[in-house]
Amino acid sequence: MEEEMIPIDPEAVMSFNCSSQNICFNDCCRDLSQALTPYDILRMKNNLGMPSQEFLRRYTSRHTGPLSGLPVVEFKPNPQTGHACPFVTRKGCSIYSDRPGSCRLYPLARAISRSRQTGQVMEYYALIKEDHCKGFAERTGDQTVKEWLAGQDVAQHNFQNDKLMMLISTKNMILPGRLEPVQADHFYMALYDIDEFRDRIFNHGLFNVLNVPPGILDKIRDNDPFLLDLGIKWIQYILFGMEIKFEG
Residues that bind ligand SF4 (CB under 6 A): 18, 22, 24-25, 27-29, 85, 87-88, 93, 95, 99-100, 103, 106-107, 132-135
Least distance (Å) between residue 229 CB and ligand SF4: 24
Q: In the complex with ligand SF4, which residue's Cβ is closer, 28 or 191?
A: 28
Residues, the chain: 248
Q: In the complex with ligand SF4, which residue's Cβ is closer, 71 or 135?
A: 135
Q: In the complex with ligand SF4, which residue's Cβ is closer, 144 or 152?
A: 152
Least distance (Å) between residue 111 CB and ligand SF4: 20
Q: At what angle do helices 38-47 and 155-174 cross, to 10 degrees?
A: 140
Least distance (Å) between residue 233 CB and ligand SF4: 29
Cα–Cα distance list, 138 to 94, 135, 142, 144 (Å): 25, 5, 9, 15
Q: In the complex with ligand SF4, which residue's Cβ is closer, 113 or 156?
A: 156
Q: Which of 243, 240, 222, 245 is nearest to 186 (CA)?
A: 240
Least distance (Å) between residue 103 CB and ligand SF4: 3
Least distance (Å) between residue 120 CB and ligand SF4: 30
Q: Are 163 and 155 in contact (CB under 8 A)?
A: no
Q: In the complex with ligand SF4, which residue's Cβ is closer, 49 or 176?
A: 49
Q: In the complex with ligand SF4, which residue's Cβ is closer, 48 or 212?
A: 48
Q: Which of 111, 155, 106 is nearest to 135 (CA)?
A: 106
d(CA 56, CA 75): 9
Cα–Cα distance list, 18 to 10, 42, 84, 109, 115 (Å): 18, 26, 18, 16, 35
Contacts of 108 (CB under 8 A, 6+ apart): 8, 14, 125, 126, 127, 128, 145, 148, 149
d(CA 92, CA 103): 12
Least distance (Å) between residue 212 CB and ligand SF4: 35
